[in-house]
Structure formats: C-alpha cells, structure tokens
C-alpha cells in the first residue's frame, strides 16, 4: 500500500464519499473513518493530512460530534469542510453561532471572494462560485487564523492558519458546483500535504497481487462469479495472484441477458484458474414455476443460487478462502443503521452455509466502483464487461411481471437486446445510468398485416441517477424510441405493443419487482 495517505473523518455529511473519491481522483490514497476514531488508530494509520467532513449537526450543541483534541497536536495539516470547518474553529477558540435568516446563512451557488495568497487558493481566480449549504457561521475565528475568503452574506467563508497548516472552508469543494473545488483539494493535497500522487491502479494491482499471494500462501480460494463488474474484476485479480489455486463457479441461472453467459465465459477463457460454468437454467425455471409474488421470486432465486453454489463447492472440495467482490461503498455504508426493506436485494456471492472455508477474502474492499472498473481494464477484461450497467442478481426474473417461463425469457431477451443496440447506436450508452426492457403481464389486441393479434406489451425503461436511491426517467429522443419500438414489434415474435416508462424513483423503483 502507498505510504502517502489522507484520513477523512466522517461527521455524517451527504457528500462524504464524494470527498474520498475526489481525493483519489488526484491519485492520493485516502480512507473514510468515523469522526471518533481513536487517536491511537489515527497514529497507526499514519496519514499525511486530515480532512473533517461536513455533517448535519451544530457544533455549539452539547452532544455535537467532536474529535479528540489531541488531534490538533499531531502536527498534521487539516482541512475542515462545512461542519468540519466550524468544528475546527470552535475547538481552537473561535465562536460558531446560528445564522439569522437572510444574514450569513447560505444555500446554493454563491459568488465567493478569495485571498489567493492562502496556499489553498493558490493559482486560482480571486472570485468564483462555490456551493454553500450552512445554517451556522463563524462569528469569531480562532487566534492564529486569518480570513481567506468571504461572500456577500458570510464574512468567514474560509479561514487558515498557515503556520500550523490548518484550513477551513464553509463551502463544499467536493461538489462540481464549486467552480474550482477540485483545484482547491489538489492544492491541499499537493501544496499543503506534499503529496506525490503515487496512487494509481497499476500500482494497486501490483500491491494487491503481492498481498493476496502472501495471505493465501499455498491455500485454495473459491469465488462465485456472477458476471457483474465486481465479481469479474475480483476473479481476474485473484487469478493473476494465485492462478490454479483459484476456483471460480459461474452459476448461469438462465436469467441473464442475451449472450451474456457466453461473454462471461469468454472473458475468462485464457486465464489460469479453474473455471466452472454451471448451466442451471432449467433448475431455476422449475423452481420459479407458479411463483408470481415479487418477494417470493427473489427469495426463491437467492436460495436456489446458494444451493447450486454449495453443490459445486462440495464437488470442488474444501477451500481456505471464500472470495467476495465487496467494494468500498458497501464497507462504509454497512456502519449505518437499518433502512426499511423495500426489496430484498440479492447479490450472488451471499454466504453459503454448507461450504467449508476458513476466511473471507475481499480484494476490492477499499476501491470505489470507478476504481474497480479501472482495475478491470488494467487486468485486460473486455470493455463491454468492465463498463457494464448494473444488472440485478435475480436477473431477468424481476423484469418479467408475473410467472417466468422460457417463452417469456426469449421475448424479453430479444426485446432488451434491441433496445440496448439502439441506445448504443445513438451514442447514448454512456449517458443513461441504467436502461433495459421489461415484460409486462399485459396482453392486448393489435393488428398485424390483415390479422388480429393478441400479444404481449414490452415496457422500455431508462433512468438517470447517481446513487440509484432516487432516479429520474431519461428523456430519450422520440426517434430512438420509435426505432426501438418498430424493431421490437417486427423482430420479436409475441410482442405487439411497446411502452416507455415515464416514472421516476420514487414513487416507482428502477426494477419492476
């Protein structure tokens, strides 16, 4: 692992993961840890600088989250953002108060004036737009600090003590609305912390391979491959590290998109490892027979998946390690409280009970999704696989409303392939977050040639989203929708109607079940 690290202390703000991604985009390794991380752990982590994030609290309230005051004596540069800035200020002797309505309280894009002698703003224009979102402000700044930015409403938009290398900004440099936010973070990393920018995926690959080899030794590892980005990249990385000591089990549940199973197999064809493809389509179909209720469908697929995987695992024999494609956002989010269950998500690679293994290995647990994709490219996985849009574990089964049958799977596969081809042909693949066809359980009357038809209606769906928690439907060009519709009705037997879904999430969800 690189020697140069930034530690980000998390006060619960909504942009906190974004701060971490931005730091890494500047090729500096960082981790996000809770704000009350003990001093001893911080010392052990040995960061070259600290960032305090924003958060929903007010620093003057008695139970406001705070850092160990010893943190200010570590001699490390600190950048406080929003709540982090107010905390820095208050703990070092400044005064933070609620802003009166219309005075120093700000929300949204704000024209801001900078002192470009401050290292944080070095080389940037003296005036630009920042993204503000605060109801408190610093009425008095601590001794040793000076003002480094202001806006019309807020005289204390940024502060600095360059001697101790403490910096605080009231706005959010991590969001794109702050015009020079990326450069400000870069200044903090390179000018203030002295970063060299040595965090690259090529470097990560080398270090990860060495670490996996050391950990696994002469042992054996077992991996459930779904064909999704995470498990595929984990498989390629593990294969590079331990070759034949790795067994990958690819359970083809027969609910994949057109040609997908063969593409996954081809991507791993030449690699040193034991690759087992299990064509379990008929078995899943049998299990799904008569099942129409969405949660039951999801549960049946999840259980069947584990069972098939376990059977394969038993045949392969005991493994020392079970490999999982867990990525960093899962690790960070698992610390949060339980949310209401809207759908029971199923990800292949869930824990089998009847497969013997000693330990779980998560070689991607420190990477963000875009870094996982980059690593996949480094490892030579095909672009189609690496840049694949998200695809749910239960596959096409939750895009077929009602009972899943072989005939319906055929219809959906063909229609979905056409829609995806048309999106790609229009050059829109990179701009739509997720797009697919679904098969409704609606049949309706149509006229084809001179005859009457009574066939299925296919729904097309495309959404725009950053986090998939909320999503807006994509305003696709009519011409594109028209081409997709004409082709689907002409080329896919059994379809006489095509609908476009214009519902956002909420109130709908992305998938249909």
Whether 85 sits among the annotated catalytic residues: the reply is no
Q: By C-beta, is 220 or 346 nearer to ligand XMP?
A: 346
Query: Is residue 200 part of the contact set for ligand XMP (CB under 6 A)?
Result: no
Which of the stretches 372-380, 385-393, 407-415, 488-496 binds ligand XMP when contact is defined by CB under 6 A?
A: 385-393
Give the nearest distance from C-beta 125 to ligand XMP in angstroms.
Answer: 39
Q: Name the minimum Å distance from CB 191 to ligand XMP.
A: 39
DSSP code for 69: G
Residues 6+ apart with CB under 8 A from 171: 82, 110, 112, 130, 131, 132, 157, 158, 178
Q: Tell the smallest beta-carbon distance from residue 433 to ligand XMP (Å).
A: 8
Q: Which one is catalytic: 26, 27, 172, 346?
A: 172
From the list 244-252, 259-267, 370-378, 386-394, the region that binds ligand XMP by CB under 6 A is: 386-394
Least spacing, CB of residue 398 vs ligand XMP, in Å: 6
Min dist CB 510 to ligand XMP, Å, is 3
Identify which range of 28-36, 38-46, 67-75, 388-396 contacts ligand XMP by CB under 6 A.
388-396
From candidates 66, 277, 369, 505, binder to ligand XMP by CB under 6 A: 505
| Binding-site size, ligand XMP (CB under 6 A) | 14
CB 317 within 8 A of CB 354: no
The catalytically annotated residue of 30, 82, 85, 160 is 82
Binding mask 432-461 for ligand XMP (x = CB under 6 A): --x---------------------------
Stretch 344-363: interaction string toward ligand XMP, x if CB under 6 A: -xxx----------------
333 given a catalytic annotation: no
Residue 249 near residue 223, CB atoms below 8 Å: yes
Q: H or E element: which one contains 381?
A: none
Residue 90 binds to ligand XMP (criterion: CB under 6 A): no
- Sign of the Cα torsion 229, 231, 235, 241 reads positive
Please give the Cα distance from 159 to 93 (Å, whole number): 13
Task: Give the nearer residue to ligand XMP in terms of CB position, either 38 or 506.
Answer: 506
The answer to whether residue 392 forms part of the interface with ligand XMP (CB under 6 A) is yes
User: Is 174 among the catalytic positions?
Assistant: yes
509 binds ligand XMP (CB under 6 A): yes
Tell whether residue 183 is a contact of ligand XMP (CB under 6 A): no
- What three-state secondary structure class fits 243? helix
Residue 390 binds ligand XMP (CB under 6 A):
yes
Smallest CA-to-CA distance from 65 within 74, 52, 76, 75 is with 52
CB of 384 to ligand XMP, least distance (A): 18
Residues 364, 233: contact at Cβ < 8 Å? yes
Cα 159 to Cα 304: distance, rounded to the nearest angstrom: 58
Distance, CA of 381 to CA of 374 (rounded, Å): 10
Q: Which is nearer to ligand XMP, 252 or 320 (CB)?
A: 252
Q: How far is the CB of 337 from ligand XMP (least distance, A)?
A: 19
26 three-class SS: coil
Among 48, 195, 201, 510, binds ligand XMP (CB under 6 A): 510
Sign for the CA dihedral angle at 400, 406, 408, 412 comes to: positive
Among 343, 365, 443, 487, binds ligand XMP (CB under 6 A): 343
User: Please, which residues bridge with residue 464 across strands?
Assistant: 472
SS3 of 85-150 = HHHHHHHCCCEEEECCCCCCCEEEEEEEEECCCCHHHCCCCCEEEEEEEECEEEEECCCCCEEEEE
Assess 227 for contact with ligand XMP (CB under 6 A).
no
Alpha-carbon gap, residue 199 to 94, rounded angstroms: 36
For residues 81 and 54, the answer to whether their CB atoms sit within 8 Å is yes
Query: 490 exposed, middle or buried (CB, 10 Å; 0-12, 13-18, 19+)?
Result: exposed
Q: Which residues are tagged catalytic?
A: 82, 172, 174
Summarize as ranges the residues that interact with ligand XMP (CB under 6 A). 343, 345-347, 390, 392-394, 434, 468, 505, 509-511
């Amino acid at each position: 692992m690189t020697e140069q690290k930034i530690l980000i202390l998390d006060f619960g703000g909504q942009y906190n993961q974004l701060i971490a991604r931005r730091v890494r985009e500047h090729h500096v390794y960082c981790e996000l840890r809770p704000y009350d991380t003990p001093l001893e752990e911080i010392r052990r982590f040995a960061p070259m600088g600290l960032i305090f994030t924003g958060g929903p609290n007010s620093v003057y309230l008695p139970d406001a989250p705070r850092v160990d005051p010893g943190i200010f004596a570590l001699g490390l540069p600190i950048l406080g953002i929003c709540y982090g800035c107010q905390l820095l200020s208050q703990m070092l002797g400044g005064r933070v108060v609620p802003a009166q309505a219309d005075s120093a309280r700000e929300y949204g894009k704000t024209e801001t004036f900078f002192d470009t002698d401050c290292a944080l703003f070095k080389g940037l224009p003296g005036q630009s737009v920042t993204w503000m979102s605060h109801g408190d402000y610093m009425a008095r700044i601590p001794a040793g600090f000076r003002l480094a930015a202001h806006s019309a409403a807020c005289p204390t938009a940024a502060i600095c003590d360059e001697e101790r290398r403490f910096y605080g900004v009231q706005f959010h440099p991590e969001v794109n609305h702050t015009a020079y936010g990326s450069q400000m973070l870069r200044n903090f990393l390179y000018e203030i912390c002295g970063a060299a920018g040595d965090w690259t995926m090529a470097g990560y690959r080398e270090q990860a391979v060495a670490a996996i080899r050391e950990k696994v030794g002469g042992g054996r590892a077992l991996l459930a491959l779904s064909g999704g980005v995470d498990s595929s990249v984990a498989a390629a990385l593990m294969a590079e590290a331990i070759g034949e000591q790795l067994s990958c089990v690819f359970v083809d549940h027969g609910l994949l998109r057109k040609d997908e199973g063969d593409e996954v197999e081809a991507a791993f064809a030449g690699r040193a490892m034991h690759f087992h493809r299990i064509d379990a389509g008929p078995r899943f179909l049998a299990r799904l027979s008569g099942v129409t209720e969405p949660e039951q469908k999801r549960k049946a697929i999840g259980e069947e998946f584990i069972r098939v995987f376990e059977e394969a695992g038993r045949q392969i024999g005991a493994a020392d390690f079970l490999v999982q494609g867990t990525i960093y956002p899962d690790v960070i989010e698992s610390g949060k409280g339980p949310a209401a269950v809207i759908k029971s998500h199923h990800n292949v690679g869930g824990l089998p009970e009847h497969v013997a293994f000693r330990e779980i290995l998560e070689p991607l647990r420190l990477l963000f999704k875009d870094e996982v994709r980059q690593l996949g490219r480094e490892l030579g996985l095909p672009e189609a696989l690496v840049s694949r849009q998200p695809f749910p574990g239960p596959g096409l089964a939750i895009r077929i409303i009602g009972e899943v049958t072989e005939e319906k799977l055929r219809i959906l596969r063909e229609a979905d392939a056409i829609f995806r081809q048309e999106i790609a042909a229009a050059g829109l693949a990179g701009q739509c977050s997720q797009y697919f066809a679904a098969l409704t359980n609606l049949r309706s009357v149509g006229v084809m040639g001179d005859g009457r038809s009574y066939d299925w209606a296919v729904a097309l769906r495309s959404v725009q989203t950053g986090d998939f928690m909320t999503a807006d439907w994509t305003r696709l060009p009519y011409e594109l929708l028209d081409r997709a519709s004409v082709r689907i009705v002409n080329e896919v037997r059994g379809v006489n109607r095509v609908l476009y879904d214009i519902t956002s999430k909420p109130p709908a969800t992305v998938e249909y079940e």
